Amino acid sequence: MTDAPAPSHTMPTFSGDAMTGQTEPLPPHDIAAVQLADEGLRRIEWAEREMPVLRLIRDRFVRELPLAGLRISACLHVTTETANLMRTLKAGGAQVTLTASNPLSTKDDVAAALVARFGISTYAIRGEDNATYYRHLNLAADTHPHITMDDGCDLVALLHQQRRDQLSEVLAGTEETTTGVIRLKAMAADGALAFPVVAVNEAQTKHLFDNRYGTGQSTVDGILRATNILLAGRRCVVAGYGWVGRGIASRLTGMGARVTVVEVDPVRAIEALMDGHQVMTAGDAAAWGELFVTATGNINVFREEHFRVMGDGALLANSGHFDAELDLVALTRLAEGHVREVRNDVREYDLGEKKLYLLAEGRLVNLGAAEGHPAAVMDMSFAGQALSVEYVAQNHASLARGVHVVPAEIDAQIARLKLEARGIFLEAMTEEQIRYTSSWDQGT
Ligand SMILES: NC(=O)c1ccc[n+]([C@@H]2O[C@H](COP(=O)([O-])OP(=O)(O)OC[C@H]3O[C@@H](n4cnc5c(N)ncnc54)[C@H](O)[C@@H]3O)[C@@H](O)[C@H]2O)c1
Protein backbone atom coordinates (compact mmCIF):
# COMPACT_ATOMS: atom_id res chain seq x y z
CA MET A 1 0.00 0.00 0.00
CA THR A 2 1.27 3.50 -0.73
CA ASP A 3 0.74 6.54 1.37
CA ALA A 4 -0.59 9.16 -0.98
CA PRO A 5 -1.07 12.76 0.01
CA ALA A 6 -4.65 13.92 0.46
CA PRO A 7 -5.90 15.98 -2.50
CA SER A 8 -5.25 19.65 -1.95
CA HIS A 9 -8.65 21.24 -1.54
CA THR A 10 -9.73 23.92 0.79
CA MET A 11 -11.62 22.63 3.81
CA PRO A 12 -12.94 25.83 5.22
CA THR A 13 -16.10 24.98 7.09
CA PHE A 14 -17.23 22.71 9.85
CA SER A 15 -20.07 20.28 9.97
CA GLY A 16 -21.82 17.80 12.20
CA ASP A 17 -21.25 14.10 11.73
CA ALA A 18 -24.60 12.32 11.66
CA MET A 19 -23.23 9.16 13.24
CA THR A 20 -21.10 10.59 16.03
CA GLY A 21 -22.59 14.02 16.58
CA GLN A 22 -19.04 15.39 16.53
CA THR A 23 -17.97 18.32 14.44
CA GLU A 24 -15.19 17.93 11.95
CA PRO A 25 -13.88 19.66 8.83
CA LEU A 26 -15.60 18.95 5.55
CA PRO A 27 -13.67 16.44 3.45
CA PRO A 28 -12.53 17.38 -0.08
CA HIS A 29 -15.57 17.67 -2.34
CA ASP A 30 -17.18 19.21 -5.39
CA ILE A 31 -20.96 19.17 -5.07
CA ALA A 32 -23.88 21.42 -6.00
CA ALA A 33 -24.90 22.83 -2.61
CA VAL A 34 -23.86 21.79 0.85
CA GLN A 35 -27.02 23.43 2.23
CA LEU A 36 -29.03 20.47 0.92
CA ALA A 37 -27.43 18.18 3.51
CA ASP A 38 -30.37 17.95 5.90
CA GLU A 39 -32.81 16.95 3.15
CA GLY A 40 -30.28 14.38 1.93
CA LEU A 41 -29.79 13.00 5.43
CA ARG A 42 -33.55 12.49 5.87
CA ARG A 43 -33.76 10.61 2.59
CA ILE A 44 -30.65 8.49 3.30
CA GLU A 45 -32.19 7.48 6.64
CA TRP A 46 -35.47 6.63 4.90
CA ALA A 47 -33.63 4.34 2.47
CA GLU A 48 -31.72 2.78 5.36
CA ARG A 49 -35.00 1.53 6.85
CA GLU A 50 -35.34 -0.71 3.78
CA MET A 51 -31.75 -1.95 3.93
CA PRO A 52 -31.56 -4.36 6.87
CA VAL A 53 -28.82 -6.57 5.39
CA LEU A 54 -26.47 -3.65 4.84
CA ARG A 55 -27.26 -2.43 8.37
CA LEU A 56 -26.24 -5.79 9.83
CA ILE A 57 -23.02 -5.71 7.83
CA ARG A 58 -22.32 -2.17 9.03
CA ASP A 59 -22.82 -3.19 12.66
CA ARG A 60 -20.27 -5.96 12.21
CA PHE A 61 -17.85 -3.69 10.30
CA VAL A 62 -17.90 -1.18 13.18
CA ARG A 63 -16.77 -3.95 15.55
CA GLU A 64 -14.27 -5.70 13.29
CA LEU A 65 -12.88 -2.85 11.11
CA PRO A 66 -12.05 -5.21 8.21
CA LEU A 67 -11.19 -2.29 5.89
CA ALA A 68 -8.91 -0.38 8.25
CA GLY A 69 -6.15 1.49 6.43
CA LEU A 70 -7.61 0.98 2.96
CA ARG A 71 -8.38 3.79 0.52
CA ILE A 72 -11.44 3.03 -1.57
CA SER A 73 -12.51 5.08 -4.59
CA ALA A 74 -16.03 4.38 -5.77
CA CYS A 75 -17.54 5.49 -9.07
CA LEU A 76 -21.23 4.78 -8.45
CA HIS A 77 -24.61 6.46 -8.91
CA VAL A 78 -24.89 9.01 -6.11
CA THR A 79 -28.19 7.94 -4.58
CA THR A 80 -29.54 7.40 -1.07
CA GLU A 81 -28.73 3.69 -1.30
CA THR A 82 -25.16 4.32 -2.39
CA ALA A 83 -24.82 6.70 0.55
CA ASN A 84 -25.65 3.83 2.89
CA LEU A 85 -23.04 1.66 1.18
CA MET A 86 -20.44 4.40 1.59
CA ARG A 87 -21.32 4.70 5.29
CA THR A 88 -20.85 0.95 5.64
CA LEU A 89 -17.40 1.03 4.05
CA LYS A 90 -16.37 3.97 6.21
CA ALA A 91 -17.65 2.12 9.29
CA GLY A 92 -15.34 -0.74 8.26
CA GLY A 93 -12.37 1.61 8.63
CA ALA A 94 -11.83 2.61 4.99
CA GLN A 95 -11.07 6.08 3.70
CA VAL A 96 -13.80 6.45 1.10
CA THR A 97 -14.08 8.74 -1.93
CA LEU A 98 -17.18 8.77 -4.12
CA THR A 99 -17.57 10.12 -7.64
CA ALA A 100 -20.63 9.91 -9.88
CA SER A 101 -20.91 7.11 -12.43
CA ASN A 102 -23.44 9.05 -14.49
CA PRO A 103 -23.90 12.83 -14.78
CA LEU A 104 -27.69 12.63 -14.56
CA SER A 105 -28.18 10.17 -11.73
CA THR A 106 -26.64 12.28 -8.95
CA LYS A 107 -28.98 13.37 -6.19
CA ASP A 108 -27.48 16.67 -5.05
CA ASP A 109 -28.97 16.49 -1.56
CA VAL A 110 -27.42 13.04 -1.06
CA ALA A 111 -24.02 14.31 -2.19
CA ALA A 112 -24.37 17.18 0.30
CA ALA A 113 -25.27 14.85 3.18
CA LEU A 114 -22.38 12.52 2.37
CA VAL A 115 -19.95 15.42 2.63
CA ALA A 116 -21.48 17.42 5.46
CA ARG A 117 -23.12 14.76 7.60
CA PHE A 118 -20.96 11.69 7.04
CA GLY A 119 -17.59 13.24 6.21
CA ILE A 120 -17.26 11.30 2.97
CA SER A 121 -15.35 12.93 0.14
CA THR A 122 -17.77 13.26 -2.81
CA TYR A 123 -17.43 14.60 -6.35
CA ALA A 124 -20.80 14.74 -8.07
CA ILE A 125 -23.11 17.42 -9.42
CA ARG A 126 -26.34 16.50 -11.16
CA GLY A 127 -26.15 17.45 -14.85
CA GLU A 128 -22.38 17.98 -14.80
CA ASP A 129 -20.81 18.20 -18.26
CA ASN A 130 -18.38 15.67 -19.64
CA ALA A 131 -15.30 17.66 -18.63
CA THR A 132 -16.54 17.93 -15.03
CA TYR A 133 -17.41 14.23 -14.99
CA TYR A 134 -13.85 13.29 -15.92
CA ARG A 135 -12.33 15.91 -13.62
CA HIS A 136 -14.29 14.29 -10.79
CA LEU A 137 -13.19 10.83 -11.85
CA ASN A 138 -9.59 12.00 -11.79
CA LEU A 139 -10.05 13.51 -8.32
CA ALA A 140 -11.25 10.11 -7.12
CA ALA A 141 -8.17 8.54 -8.69
CA ASP A 142 -5.94 11.21 -7.08
CA THR A 143 -6.55 9.54 -3.71
CA HIS A 144 -4.50 6.57 -4.96
CA PRO A 145 -7.09 3.89 -4.20
CA HIS A 146 -6.23 0.42 -2.99
CA ILE A 147 -9.68 -0.75 -4.01
CA THR A 148 -11.81 0.55 -6.89
CA MET A 149 -15.58 0.23 -7.11
CA ASP A 150 -17.22 0.84 -10.46
CA ASP A 151 -20.63 0.92 -12.08
CA GLY A 152 -19.70 0.82 -15.75
CA CYS A 153 -15.90 0.42 -15.48
CA ASP A 154 -15.02 4.11 -15.92
CA LEU A 155 -12.58 4.29 -13.00
CA VAL A 156 -10.80 1.08 -13.97
CA ALA A 157 -10.62 2.29 -17.58
CA LEU A 158 -9.18 5.66 -16.50
CA LEU A 159 -6.47 3.97 -14.42
CA HIS A 160 -5.54 1.62 -17.27
CA GLN A 161 -5.62 4.25 -20.01
CA GLN A 162 -4.24 7.40 -18.40
CA ARG A 163 -2.81 6.62 -14.97
CA ARG A 164 -0.91 3.41 -15.45
CA ASP A 165 1.69 4.37 -12.83
CA GLN A 166 -1.03 3.80 -10.22
CA LEU A 167 -2.01 0.31 -11.35
CA SER A 168 0.47 -1.42 -9.06
CA GLU A 169 -1.09 0.33 -6.04
CA VAL A 170 -4.53 -1.16 -6.66
CA LEU A 171 -5.13 -4.41 -4.80
CA ALA A 172 -8.48 -5.22 -6.40
CA GLY A 173 -11.78 -3.81 -7.59
CA THR A 174 -15.48 -4.51 -7.76
CA GLU A 175 -17.91 -3.92 -10.64
CA GLU A 176 -21.65 -3.39 -10.27
CA THR A 177 -23.23 -3.67 -13.71
CA THR A 178 -23.51 -5.85 -16.83
CA THR A 179 -21.92 -3.30 -19.15
CA GLY A 180 -18.92 -2.88 -16.84
CA VAL A 181 -18.44 -6.64 -16.58
CA ILE A 182 -18.48 -6.92 -20.39
CA ARG A 183 -15.77 -4.22 -20.62
CA LEU A 184 -13.70 -5.92 -17.91
CA LYS A 185 -13.93 -9.33 -19.56
CA ALA A 186 -12.75 -7.76 -22.82
CA MET A 187 -9.79 -6.23 -20.97
CA ALA A 188 -9.00 -9.54 -19.27
CA ALA A 189 -9.19 -11.40 -22.61
CA ASP A 190 -6.63 -8.95 -24.02
CA GLY A 191 -4.39 -9.54 -20.98
CA ALA A 192 -4.84 -5.86 -20.16
CA LEU A 193 -6.55 -6.03 -16.78
CA ALA A 194 -3.88 -5.33 -14.16
CA PHE A 195 -5.64 -6.47 -11.00
CA PRO A 196 -8.47 -8.77 -9.87
CA VAL A 197 -12.03 -7.41 -10.08
CA VAL A 198 -15.06 -9.07 -8.53
CA ALA A 199 -18.09 -8.95 -10.81
CA VAL A 200 -20.79 -8.15 -8.29
CA ASN A 201 -23.30 -8.12 -11.15
CA GLU A 202 -22.77 -11.86 -11.61
CA ALA A 203 -23.95 -12.61 -8.08
CA GLN A 204 -27.37 -14.21 -8.09
CA THR A 205 -28.50 -11.87 -5.35
CA LYS A 206 -27.61 -9.00 -7.71
CA HIS A 207 -28.84 -9.56 -11.25
CA LEU A 208 -31.85 -11.74 -10.42
CA PHE A 209 -33.25 -8.99 -8.21
CA ASP A 210 -31.59 -5.66 -8.99
CA ASN A 211 -31.58 -5.92 -12.80
CA ARG A 212 -34.96 -7.61 -12.98
CA TYR A 213 -37.17 -6.31 -10.18
CA GLY A 214 -35.26 -3.12 -9.36
CA THR A 215 -34.76 -1.85 -12.91
CA GLY A 216 -38.14 -3.19 -13.99
CA GLN A 217 -40.04 -1.16 -11.42
CA SER A 218 -37.85 1.94 -11.41
CA THR A 219 -37.79 2.20 -15.21
CA VAL A 220 -41.57 2.28 -15.30
CA ASP A 221 -41.43 4.75 -12.39
CA GLY A 222 -39.07 7.04 -14.37
CA ILE A 223 -41.25 6.91 -17.48
CA LEU A 224 -44.37 7.74 -15.47
CA ARG A 225 -42.75 10.55 -13.49
CA ALA A 226 -41.43 12.12 -16.69
CA THR A 227 -44.63 11.79 -18.71
CA ASN A 228 -47.60 10.86 -16.48
CA ILE A 229 -48.93 8.74 -19.36
CA LEU A 230 -51.46 5.94 -18.98
CA LEU A 231 -49.81 2.59 -19.63
CA ALA A 232 -52.98 0.51 -19.84
CA GLY A 233 -53.54 -0.43 -23.47
CA ARG A 234 -50.38 1.34 -24.68
CA ARG A 235 -48.19 -0.37 -27.28
CA CYS A 236 -44.74 -0.65 -25.66
CA VAL A 237 -41.56 -1.97 -27.24
CA VAL A 238 -38.76 -3.35 -25.06
CA ALA A 239 -35.43 -3.89 -26.80
CA GLY A 240 -33.33 -6.56 -25.07
CA TYR A 241 -34.81 -9.41 -23.06
CA GLY A 242 -31.98 -9.87 -20.59
CA TRP A 243 -32.47 -9.45 -16.87
CA VAL A 244 -33.33 -5.79 -17.24
CA GLY A 245 -35.59 -6.20 -20.27
CA ARG A 246 -37.50 -9.07 -18.64
CA GLY A 247 -38.17 -6.92 -15.59
CA ILE A 248 -39.34 -3.93 -17.62
CA ALA A 249 -41.56 -6.05 -19.87
CA SER A 250 -43.20 -7.82 -16.94
CA ARG A 251 -43.87 -4.55 -15.06
CA LEU A 252 -45.29 -2.85 -18.16
CA THR A 253 -47.53 -5.86 -18.73
CA GLY A 254 -48.63 -5.70 -15.11
CA MET A 255 -49.87 -2.17 -15.71
CA GLY A 256 -51.91 -3.22 -18.70
CA ALA A 257 -49.52 -2.29 -21.50
CA ARG A 258 -49.19 -4.43 -24.63
CA VAL A 259 -45.53 -5.41 -24.94
CA THR A 260 -43.42 -6.31 -27.96
CA VAL A 261 -39.84 -7.48 -27.47
CA VAL A 262 -36.96 -6.92 -29.89
CA GLU A 263 -34.12 -9.42 -29.46
CA VAL A 264 -31.07 -10.69 -31.34
CA ASP A 265 -30.73 -13.88 -29.26
CA PRO A 266 -33.13 -16.66 -30.34
CA VAL A 267 -33.35 -18.28 -26.88
CA ARG A 268 -34.22 -14.99 -25.21
CA ALA A 269 -36.69 -14.24 -28.00
CA ILE A 270 -38.53 -17.54 -27.52
CA GLU A 271 -38.57 -16.92 -23.79
CA ALA A 272 -40.19 -13.53 -24.42
CA LEU A 273 -42.78 -15.17 -26.65
CA MET A 274 -43.62 -17.82 -24.04
CA ASP A 275 -43.81 -15.13 -21.36
CA GLY A 276 -46.70 -13.78 -23.42
CA HIS A 277 -45.07 -10.93 -25.36
CA GLN A 278 -44.94 -10.36 -29.09
CA VAL A 279 -41.52 -10.55 -30.74
CA MET A 280 -40.65 -8.39 -33.77
CA THR A 281 -37.69 -6.91 -35.58
CA ALA A 282 -36.73 -3.37 -34.62
CA GLY A 283 -38.10 -2.16 -37.96
CA ASP A 284 -41.53 -3.72 -37.49
CA ALA A 285 -41.67 -2.70 -33.83
CA ALA A 286 -40.79 0.89 -34.71
CA ALA A 287 -43.92 1.20 -36.81
CA TRP A 288 -46.07 -0.58 -34.19
CA GLY A 289 -44.97 0.98 -30.89
CA GLU A 290 -45.93 4.08 -28.95
CA LEU A 291 -43.34 3.79 -26.15
CA PHE A 292 -39.83 2.42 -26.76
CA VAL A 293 -37.46 1.31 -24.00
CA THR A 294 -33.95 0.02 -24.69
CA ALA A 295 -32.09 -2.30 -22.31
CA THR A 296 -29.51 -4.09 -24.43
CA GLY A 297 -26.08 -2.71 -23.45
CA ASN A 298 -25.61 -2.19 -27.20
CA ILE A 299 -25.44 0.90 -29.43
CA ASN A 300 -27.87 2.47 -31.93
CA VAL A 301 -30.62 -0.07 -31.30
CA PHE A 302 -33.13 2.47 -32.59
CA ARG A 303 -31.68 4.69 -35.28
CA GLU A 304 -32.65 6.87 -38.26
CA GLU A 305 -34.49 4.16 -40.22
CA HIS A 306 -36.60 3.49 -37.11
CA PHE A 307 -37.23 7.13 -36.18
CA ARG A 308 -38.51 7.67 -39.71
CA VAL A 309 -41.30 5.09 -39.31
CA MET A 310 -42.26 5.78 -35.69
CA GLY A 311 -45.64 7.41 -35.17
CA ASP A 312 -46.34 10.95 -34.01
CA GLY A 313 -45.87 11.28 -30.24
CA ALA A 314 -43.69 8.19 -29.82
CA LEU A 315 -41.80 8.20 -26.52
CA LEU A 316 -38.15 7.06 -26.37
CA ALA A 317 -36.45 5.92 -23.18
CA ASN A 318 -33.30 4.00 -22.33
CA SER A 319 -32.52 1.90 -19.29
CA GLY A 320 -29.26 0.38 -20.54
CA HIS A 321 -26.05 1.66 -19.05
CA PHE A 322 -24.91 4.15 -21.69
CA ASP A 323 -26.86 6.79 -23.57
CA ALA A 324 -25.77 5.19 -26.84
CA GLU A 325 -28.72 2.80 -27.27
CA LEU A 326 -30.72 5.45 -29.12
CA ASP A 327 -28.95 7.17 -32.03
CA LEU A 328 -29.32 10.70 -30.72
CA VAL A 329 -27.01 12.15 -33.36
CA ALA A 330 -29.43 10.96 -36.06
CA LEU A 331 -32.46 12.12 -34.07
CA THR A 332 -30.97 15.59 -33.63
CA ARG A 333 -30.11 15.76 -37.32
CA LEU A 334 -33.64 14.74 -38.37
CA ALA A 335 -35.12 17.46 -36.16
CA GLU A 336 -32.94 20.14 -37.84
CA GLY A 337 -32.71 22.24 -34.69
CA HIS A 338 -36.41 21.98 -33.75
CA VAL A 339 -35.70 20.60 -30.29
CA ARG A 340 -37.18 21.89 -27.04
CA GLU A 341 -37.85 20.83 -23.46
CA VAL A 342 -41.58 20.32 -22.95
CA ARG A 343 -41.50 18.96 -19.40
CA ASN A 344 -38.83 18.03 -16.90
CA ASP A 345 -36.94 15.11 -18.44
CA VAL A 346 -38.93 15.25 -21.70
CA ARG A 347 -37.35 16.68 -24.85
CA GLU A 348 -39.39 17.15 -28.02
CA TYR A 349 -37.83 16.51 -31.44
CA ASP A 350 -39.98 18.09 -34.15
CA LEU A 351 -39.41 16.17 -37.38
CA GLY A 352 -41.97 18.26 -39.30
CA GLU A 353 -44.51 15.56 -40.07
CA LYS A 354 -44.39 14.30 -36.45
CA LYS A 355 -42.90 14.85 -33.04
CA LEU A 356 -40.85 12.31 -31.07
CA TYR A 357 -40.15 12.63 -27.34
CA LEU A 358 -36.91 11.64 -25.63
CA LEU A 359 -36.94 10.96 -21.88
CA ALA A 360 -34.04 11.81 -19.52
CA GLU A 361 -31.74 12.71 -22.44
CA GLY A 362 -31.54 9.04 -23.39
CA ARG A 363 -29.64 8.24 -20.20
CA LEU A 364 -30.79 5.64 -17.66
CA VAL A 365 -34.41 6.72 -17.30
CA ASN A 366 -34.87 5.06 -13.91
CA LEU A 367 -32.06 7.15 -12.45
CA GLY A 368 -32.49 10.28 -14.56
CA ALA A 369 -36.24 10.72 -14.12
CA ALA A 370 -36.85 8.72 -10.94
CA GLU A 371 -34.83 7.67 -7.93
CA GLY A 372 -33.23 4.50 -9.23
CA HIS A 373 -33.94 1.17 -7.69
CA PRO A 374 -35.97 0.81 -4.52
CA ALA A 375 -33.70 0.58 -1.48
CA ALA A 376 -34.92 -2.92 -0.59
CA VAL A 377 -33.39 -4.24 -3.81
CA MET A 378 -30.20 -2.21 -3.53
CA ASP A 379 -29.85 -3.66 -0.03
CA MET A 380 -28.92 -6.96 -1.65
CA SER A 381 -26.74 -5.54 -4.44
CA PHE A 382 -24.83 -3.34 -2.02
CA ALA A 383 -24.54 -6.06 0.60
CA GLY A 384 -22.81 -7.92 -2.24
CA GLN A 385 -20.58 -4.88 -2.82
CA ALA A 386 -19.69 -4.48 0.86
CA LEU A 387 -18.95 -8.19 1.35
CA SER A 388 -17.02 -8.34 -1.94
CA VAL A 389 -14.86 -5.41 -0.82
CA GLU A 390 -14.18 -7.24 2.46
CA TYR A 391 -13.44 -10.42 0.46
CA VAL A 392 -10.89 -8.72 -1.82
CA ALA A 393 -9.35 -6.89 1.14
CA GLN A 394 -8.70 -10.28 2.76
CA ASN A 395 -7.90 -12.35 -0.34
CA HIS A 396 -6.33 -10.03 -2.93
CA ALA A 397 -2.93 -11.70 -2.59
CA SER A 398 -4.31 -15.03 -3.77
CA LEU A 399 -6.58 -13.66 -6.50
CA ALA A 400 -5.20 -13.66 -10.04
CA ARG A 401 -5.66 -10.61 -12.28
CA GLY A 402 -8.93 -10.93 -14.12
CA VAL A 403 -12.66 -11.04 -13.47
CA HIS A 404 -13.84 -13.08 -10.48
CA VAL A 405 -17.27 -14.29 -9.48
CA VAL A 406 -18.73 -13.46 -6.10
CA PRO A 407 -18.14 -16.49 -3.85
CA ALA A 408 -21.29 -18.61 -3.50
CA GLU A 409 -21.17 -18.27 0.33
CA ILE A 410 -21.59 -14.50 -0.01
CA ASP A 411 -24.64 -14.99 -2.23
CA ALA A 412 -26.17 -17.46 0.21
CA GLN A 413 -25.38 -15.24 3.19
CA ILE A 414 -27.08 -12.21 1.61
CA ALA A 415 -30.21 -14.16 0.65
CA ARG A 416 -30.45 -15.75 4.09
CA LEU A 417 -30.03 -12.43 5.92
CA LYS A 418 -32.61 -10.79 3.66
CA LEU A 419 -35.15 -13.51 4.37
CA GLU A 420 -34.46 -13.47 8.10
CA ALA A 421 -34.87 -9.70 8.18
CA ARG A 422 -38.40 -10.34 6.94
CA GLY A 423 -38.99 -13.05 9.53
CA ILE A 424 -38.79 -15.82 6.92
CA PHE A 425 -36.81 -18.96 7.72
CA LEU A 426 -35.79 -21.84 5.48
CA GLU A 427 -36.73 -25.46 5.61
CA ALA A 428 -33.72 -27.71 6.33
CA MET A 429 -33.24 -31.13 4.75
CA THR A 430 -33.61 -34.16 7.00
CA GLU A 431 -30.67 -36.55 7.38
CA GLU A 432 -32.54 -38.99 5.17
CA GLN A 433 -33.00 -36.33 2.46
CA ILE A 434 -29.32 -35.36 2.60
CA ARG A 435 -28.36 -39.02 2.13
CA TYR A 436 -30.89 -39.39 -0.72
CA THR A 437 -29.78 -36.29 -2.65
CA SER A 438 -26.11 -37.18 -2.34
CA SER A 439 -26.42 -40.82 -3.39
CA TRP A 440 -26.44 -42.27 -6.92
CA ASP A 441 -27.79 -45.75 -6.19
CA GLN A 442 -31.24 -44.91 -4.79
CA GLY A 443 -34.04 -44.65 -7.37
CA THR A 444 -37.78 -44.59 -6.93
N1 LIG B 1 -31.06 1.08 -15.46
C2 LIG B 1 -30.40 0.45 -14.49
O3 LIG B 1 -30.44 0.83 -13.33
C4 LIG B 1 -29.63 -0.79 -14.84
C5 LIG B 1 -29.50 -1.83 -13.89
C6 LIG B 1 -28.81 -2.99 -14.26
C7 LIG B 1 -28.26 -3.07 -15.55
N8 LIG B 1 -28.37 -2.01 -16.42
C9 LIG B 1 -27.84 -2.06 -17.78
O10 LIG B 1 -28.87 -2.57 -18.64
C11 LIG B 1 -28.26 -3.21 -19.78
C12 LIG B 1 -28.83 -4.64 -19.90
O13 LIG B 1 -28.46 -5.37 -18.74
P14 LIG B 1 -28.90 -6.91 -18.58
O15 LIG B 1 -28.40 -7.34 -17.24
O16 LIG B 1 -30.33 -7.09 -18.93
O17 LIG B 1 -27.98 -7.55 -19.75
P18 LIG B 1 -28.19 -8.93 -20.51
O19 LIG B 1 -26.90 -9.20 -21.18
O20 LIG B 1 -28.78 -9.95 -19.60
O21 LIG B 1 -29.31 -8.59 -21.61
C22 LIG B 1 -29.12 -7.78 -22.76
C23 LIG B 1 -29.96 -8.37 -23.88
O24 LIG B 1 -29.95 -7.45 -24.99
C25 LIG B 1 -29.91 -8.25 -26.18
N26 LIG B 1 -29.42 -7.41 -27.28
C27 LIG B 1 -28.13 -7.06 -27.57
N28 LIG B 1 -28.11 -6.28 -28.67
C29 LIG B 1 -29.39 -6.13 -29.07
C30 LIG B 1 -30.01 -5.42 -30.15
N31 LIG B 1 -29.30 -4.71 -31.03
N32 LIG B 1 -31.37 -5.49 -30.26
C33 LIG B 1 -32.11 -6.21 -29.38
N34 LIG B 1 -31.57 -6.90 -28.35
C35 LIG B 1 -30.22 -6.85 -28.20
C36 LIG B 1 -29.01 -9.41 -25.83
O37 LIG B 1 -29.23 -10.51 -26.70
C38 LIG B 1 -29.45 -9.72 -24.39
O39 LIG B 1 -30.50 -10.67 -24.34
C40 LIG B 1 -26.76 -3.16 -19.53
O41 LIG B 1 -26.25 -2.02 -20.20
C42 LIG B 1 -26.65 -2.96 -18.02
O43 LIG B 1 -25.45 -2.38 -17.62
C44 LIG B 1 -29.07 -0.90 -16.10
Q: What distance in angstroms lies between residue 245's CA and the mean position of ligand 1's atoms?
A: 7
Q: How far apart are CA 247 and CA 176, in angstroms?
A: 18
Cβ proximity of 288 and 260 under 8 Å:
yes
Q: Which atom belonging to ligand 1 lies closest to the Cα atom of 243? A: 16
> What is the per-residue pLDDT for 11?
37
Q: What distance in angstroms lies between residue 124's CA and the mean position of ligand 1's atoms?
A: 26
Partner residues linked to 358 by β-bridges: 316, 347
Q: What distance in angstroms lies between residue 297's CA and the mean position of ligand 1's atoms?
A: 4
Q: Which of 104, 220, 321 to mutate to test the pocket of ligand 1 (most atoms within 8 A of CB)?
A: 321
| Angle formed by the axes of helices 52-64 and 375-395, nearest 10° | 30
Q: Which atom belonging to ligand 1 lies closest to the Cα atom of 372? A: 3
Q: What distance in angstroms lies between residue 21's CA and the mean position of ligand 1's atoms?
A: 43
Q: Which atom belonging to ligand 1 lies closest to the Cα atom of 265? A: 37
Q: Which of 270, 293, 296 to mutate to test the pocket of ligand 1 (most atoms within 8 A of CB)?
A: 296
Q: What distance in angstroms lies between residue 244's CA and the mean position of ligand 1's atoms?
A: 6
Integer CA distances (angstroms), 176 to 12, 27, 254, in order: 34, 25, 28
Q: Which atom belonging to ligand 1 lies closest to the Cα atom of 77? A: 3
> What is the per-residue pLDDT for 440?
86
Cβ proximity of 79 and 367 under 8 Å:
yes
Q: What distance in angstroms lies between residue 280's CA and the mean position of ligand 1's atoms?
A: 17
Burial (0-12, 13-18, 19+ Cβ within 10 Å), 47? buried
Q: Which of 244, 260, 303 to mutate to test the pocket of ligand 1 (most atoms within 8 A of CB)?
A: 244
Q: What distance in angstroms lies between residue 351's CA and the mean position of ligand 1's atoms?
A: 29
Low-confidence residues in the chain, pLDDT < 50: 1-14, 16
Q: How far apart are CA 437 and CA 231, in angstroms?
A: 47
Q: Which of 206, 207, 211, 277 to mutate to test the pocket of ligand 1 (most atoms within 8 A of CB)?
A: 211
Integer CA distances (angstroms), 391 to 149, 196, 397, 401, in order: 13, 12, 11, 15
Q: Of 122, 201, 216, whose CA–CA distance to 382 is shortest?
A: 201
Take atom 11 of ligand 1 and give the residue whose Cα is closest: 320
Per-residue pLDDT of 263-310, as tens digits, reads 999 999 999 999 999 999 999 999 999 999 999 999 999 999 999 999
Take atom 15 of ligand 1 and give the residue whose Cα is closest: 243
Q: How far apart are CA 17 and CA 289, in angstroms?
A: 51
Q: What distance in angstroms lies between residue 252's CA and the mean position of ligand 1's atoms?
A: 17
Q: What distance in angstroms lies between residue 387's CA and the mean position of ligand 1's atoms?
A: 25
| Residue 405: CB atoms within 10 Å | 12
> What is the per-residue pLDDT for 181?
96
Q: What distance in angstroms lies between residue 208's CA and the mean position of ligand 1's atoms?
A: 13
Q: Which atom belonging to ligand 1 lies closest to the Cα atom of 211? A: 6
Q: What distance in angstroms lies between residue 362's CA and the mean position of ligand 1's atoms?
A: 15
Partner residues linked to 342 by β-bridges: none
What is this structure's pTM? 0.84
Ligand 1 site residues (CB inside 6 A) read 177-179, 207, 211, 215, 239-245, 262-265, 268, 295-298, 301, 319-321, 364, 366-367
Per-residue pLDDT of 394-434, as tens digits, reads 999 999 999 999 999 999 999 999 999 999 999 999 999 99
Take atom 39 of ligand 1 and give the residue whose Cα is closest: 242
Pairing of strands 235-239, 196-199: unpaired
Q: What distance in angstroms lies between residue 176's CA and the mean position of ligand 1's atoms?
A: 14
Q: Which atom belonging to ligand 1 lies closest to the Cα atom of 322? A: 41
Take atom 32 of ligand 1 and give the residue whose Cα is closest: 263
